[in-house]
Amino acid sequence: MNDVGTEVKIKLVSSIIPTDGELETYEMWLQGTFIEKSGTHYLRYEEVQENQTIRTTVKLTDSQSFIMRSGGVNMRLPLNTTQKERGRYDSTYGTIPLVTKTHQLSYERQEASGQFKTQYDLIIGGSSVGNYTLEINYTEVEV
């Protein structure tokens, strides 16, 4: 996807409740790109974790979405409120199959901003490893 997009500021809040642990919340402010392609909206951004750059693309809809990450982390995470979906996480030890059970998926677009929110269970090997909430707010950068 090499479409030219609009530069945006992104506030990303990720909360995880591991099956055997306590709530962990992460907040990041990032620069990214909003892209509209064939009527579908996408956000693209990069983040650095443990000295590795991770490129992320999020398909923004309120019915079927996905999060794709590449670089330091390679992952495809499909999100669908009507059924469980199969994804994958590529690790140094091989590919780990993932399943998502999406409880909430919403996307609202305004004139120059938007909000995407999802809540899902991440299932590995038939067992839930935690409940995840991801909220992304973005605003177009004025030129």
State which residues form the domain around 68: 6-138
Q: Is position 124 within any domain?
A: yes
Query: Tell me, what's the pLDDT at 72?
Result: 83
Residue 54 is assigned to a structural domain of this protein: yes
- Number of separate domains in the chain: 1
What pTM was estimated for this model as a whole? Answer: 0.91
User: Residue 3: which pLDDT band, with cuts at 50, 70 and 90?
Assistant: low
Residue 70 has pLDDT above 90, yes or no: yes
Say which CATH number the domain at 126 has: 2.40.128.20
Residue 52 domain flag: yes
Does residue 99 lie within any of the structural domains?
yes
Per the DSSP assignment, residues forming a β-bridge with 118 are 105, 134
In a domain, 1, yes or no: no
Q: What is the pLDDT of residues 19-61, one digit of tens each?
A: 998 999 999 999 999 999 988 999 999 998 888 899 999 999 9
How many contiguous H segments (helices) and E segments (strands) does the chain have?
Answer: 0, 10
Q: Strand pairing partners for 134?
A: 14, 118
Residue 59 domain-assigned (yes or no): yes
Is the dihedral angle over the CA atoms 58, 84, 122, 76 positive or is it negative?
A: negative
